[in-house]
Structure 1
Amino acid sequence: MKNIRIGTRDSQLAMWQAEWVKNQLTIVYPHLQFELVPMKTKGDKILDVPLAKIGDKGLFTKELENGLLNHELDMAIHSLKDMPTLLPKGLMICTFCEREEPRDVFLSRNGTRLEELPPGAVIGTSSLRRKAQLKHYRPDLDFMDLRGNLQTRWRKLQESNMDGIVLAAAGVKRLGWEERITQILPEDMMLSAVGQGSIAIEIDEKRLDIMELLLPLNHRATEQAVRAERALMRKLEGGCQVPIGALARVVEEEQIILRGMVASVDGVRLIRAEAQGTDPEAVGFEVADRLIDLGATSILAEIR
């Protein structure tokens, strides 16, 4: 097999993830050559508008997917939480790498925990999901839109009047920033984005050679969990810019326990549901149906 081209976004975190995949593959296949192909996506270029206002699915994936469809790439590395639940025709997620810590973390300017912040404290985040849950937990907080890569967000925290920022634990840990974490936010305060913490590898579904190559990197428990989360998202017709949270865990005998959440943007209405079973899609649909019974459809209709 010739040089194998691995597509990735060019941010530091995306490059870390692609480099990690490349290293894993090199360990398994020392005789093969792997090359990283960095690209800028639409979501990387538009930094002055909150993602929810751009409202375009595939903001961080489209350019890479075009590379796969045009045969310029052999595989594309994504943060799974950036991937729409419906992929372009002819493409598939072939591999779900073992998940890092899936929860969100709070990075405070001076070490103050979220619950101890004074009224009117300013939190930096552009995520509707994070804002809605934090407003539900503490209606007295204020928010500042925050876009850009992790380094940019950390710099803005130092230079602005923000009291703290909320980020995905996985990215913070992958960049070796553990000492900057003030607290990991518990699930009953902040439910994660669908797929958060897992690296996904997307390929052309006809590339059986690449599919076989990637088999050793797939992590079954992660795959079962994130498939349940993505089924919930698909049923609710949500995207990554909607206040939907979901987190599944696989316990003994392949039981999948999935918790889901839908909130109004102002955080006033917040509903939660939970289910378990062994079929990821069935569990995801069951939690989605329970959320619909509790009023998810009307909450999401207001946002759209």
Structure 2
Amino acid sequence: MLLRVGSRGSRLALTQAERAVEALRRPGVEIALVPITTAGDRDRTRPFGEIGSRGVFVKELEEALLAHRIDVAVHSAKDMTSTDAEGLAVGAYPAREDPRDALCGSADVRAGMRIGTASARRRAQLLALEPGLSVEPLRGNIDTRLRKRVERGLDAVVLAACGLDRLGLGSEIAVRLDPDVMLPEAGQGALALQVRAGEEDLVAMADDAETRRRVEAERRCVGAVGGGCLAPVAAYHDGTVLTGLIAAEDGSWLERREGSDPDALGRELAALERRTA
């Protein structure tokens, strides 16, 4: 049996795909890794919101699955939309790694600093923490963003800790930001192995039940905020409590709420956004 595993072609994405491949190996199964370029990979200059925001690193992989060009798509769970595309399902979430954001460069946040990030979620929380920051747009893969920090004289850049760890770049981290300081993106730190609906058995052996419970709650919460919401949102489940966040991109207002029901929490966050709009 040949199992074709699709992945973005970046160094991090291929490293993640290779980890997934190891979890899927079994007697009688031959695995072929298939690199696929996404919209987010092709356009490395515009902000994510201008090219589609969530899903810009996912759509082409999903299309390849539906067209039977691949059998499994490996995604960073944080890149996925809040609901699965019709005809597709997440067959496995391997055990989650560090979900936190990391500050590379300076180990603290102070007024007057220049910090690079392309994420509206990170920008909003940084500015709510310290309004005197200059938060500058920064796109590119991890290696590029680390290089640009030096070239542009930035004091720090914010990256996902798990990506740095997976590439053996943990030494670049000055501090890992506690979720109480910066709430992670829904699904951050987790991989999602997506398959065609009904073919979940292809990857079921790689599924971690606790990671699935937490990440699915986070995705549902963000989904319940609603597609019309333009404000940065985040959700993180620490195993006990689900926390949701909504904010203005300029950090002028930020609200955190906790709850046990992802859908109710998402609706509560959406109502907060409407009141402050």
Decide whether aligned partners of structure 1 residues 229 and 144 sit closer, same or farther in structure 2, where only a CA change above 3 A counts: same
| Structure 1 position 214 matched with structure 2 position 203 | yes
TM-superposition CA deviations, 1:86-107 (whole Å, max 9, x none):
3321111111111111110100
Partners of 1:240 and 1:171 lie apart in 2 by 28
The share of aligned pairs that are identical, in percent, is: 37
SS in 2 for 1:114: coil
Of stretches 190-199 and 241-250 in structure 1, the one that deviates more from structure 2 is: 241-250
Partners of 2:6 and 2:201 lie apart in 1 by 18
Quick check: 1:238–1:244 contact (8 Å CA) kept in 2?
A: no
Q: CA deviation at 1:148?
A: 0.9
Partners of 1:197 and 1:57 lie apart in 2 by 16
* One-letter amino acid of the structure 1 residue matched with residue 97 of structure 2: E
RMSD value, Cα = 1.8
TM-score, with normalisation over the residues of structure 2?
0.95
Partners of 1:134 and 1:249 lie apart in 2 by 21
Partners of 2:230 and 2:139 lie apart in 1 by 13
Decide whether aligned partners of structure 1 residues 216 and 44 sit closer, same or farther in structure 2, where only a CA change above 3 A counts: same
* One-letter amino acid of the structure 2 residue matched with residue 167 of structure 1: L
TM-superposition CA deviations, 1:127-158 (whole Å, max 9, x none):
00000000000000001111111011111112
Quick check: 2:4–2:71 contact (8 Å CA) kept in 1?
A: yes
TM-superposition CA deviations, 1:158-199 (whole Å, max 9, x none):
211211000111111111111111001122220000110100
* One-letter amino acid of the structure 1 residue matched with residue 249 of structure 2: V
Determine which of 242, 251, 255 is the counterpart of 1:258.
Answer: 242
Unaligned runs of 5+ in 2: none
| Structure 1 position 22 matched with structure 2 position 17 | no
Q: CA deviation at 1:239?
A: 9.3
Matched ranges for 1:237-252 at <5 A:
237=226, 242-250=231-239
Decide whether aligned partners of structure 1 residues 238 and 49 sit closer, same or farther in structure 2, where only a CA change above 3 A counts: same
| Structure 1 position 174 matched with structure 2 position 166 | yes
Partners of 2:176 and 2:118 lie apart in 1 by 19
Quick check: 1:132–1:264 contact (8 Å CA) kept in 2?
A: yes
Partners of 2:264 and 2:229 lie apart in 1 by 20
* One-letter amino acid of the structure 2 residue matched with residue 266 of structure 1: D
Decide whether aligned partners of structure 1 residues 142 and 159 sit closer, same or farther in structure 2, where only a CA change above 3 A counts: same
Partners of 2:235 and 2:212 lie apart in 1 by 14
Alignment: residue pair count: 277
Determine which of 153, 160, 164 is the counterpart of 1:161.
Answer: 153
Determine which of 129, 136, 140 is the counterpart of 2:132.
Answer: 140
Quick check: 1:113–1:183 contact (8 Å CA) kept in 2?
A: yes
Unaligned runs of 5+ in 1: 251-255, 277-282
| Structure 1 position 234 matched with structure 2 position 223 | yes
Decide whether aligned partners of structure 1 residues 127 and 241 sit closer, same or farther in structure 2, where only a CA change above 3 A counts: farther
4+ residue runs over 6 A deviation: none
Quick check: 1:7–1:76 contact (8 Å CA) kept in 2?
A: yes
| Structure 1 position 114 matched with structure 2 position 111 | no
Quick check: 1:228–1:248 contact (8 Å CA) kept in 2?
A: yes
1:81 aligned partner = 78
* One-letter amino acid of the structure 1 residue matched with residue 80 of structure 2: M
SS in 2 for 1:78: strand
Of stretches 48-57 and 122-131 in structure 1, the one that deviates more from structure 2 is: 48-57
Partners of 1:24 and 1:214 lie apart in 2 by 9
Quick check: 2:127–2:251 contact (8 Å CA) kept in 1?
A: yes
Partners of 1:130 and 1:231 lie apart in 2 by 20
SS in 1 for 2:241: strand
TM-superposition CA deviations, 1:95-125 (whole Å, max 9, x none):
11111111101001xxx3223x4x3211000
1:195 aligned partner = 187
Quick check: 2:73–2:195 contact (8 Å CA) kept in 1?
A: yes
Quick check: 2:83–2:219 contact (8 Å CA) kept in 1?
A: no
Decide whether aligned partners of structure 1 residues 169 and 53 sit closer, same or farther in structure 2, where only a CA change above 3 A counts: same
1:275 aligned partner = 259
Partners of 1:6 and 1:73 lie apart in 2 by 6
Partners of 1:275 and 1:265 lie apart in 2 by 23
Decide whether aligned partners of structure 1 residues 57 and 167 sit closer, same or farther in structure 2, where only a CA change above 3 A counts: closer
Q: CA deviation at 1:298?
A: 4.2
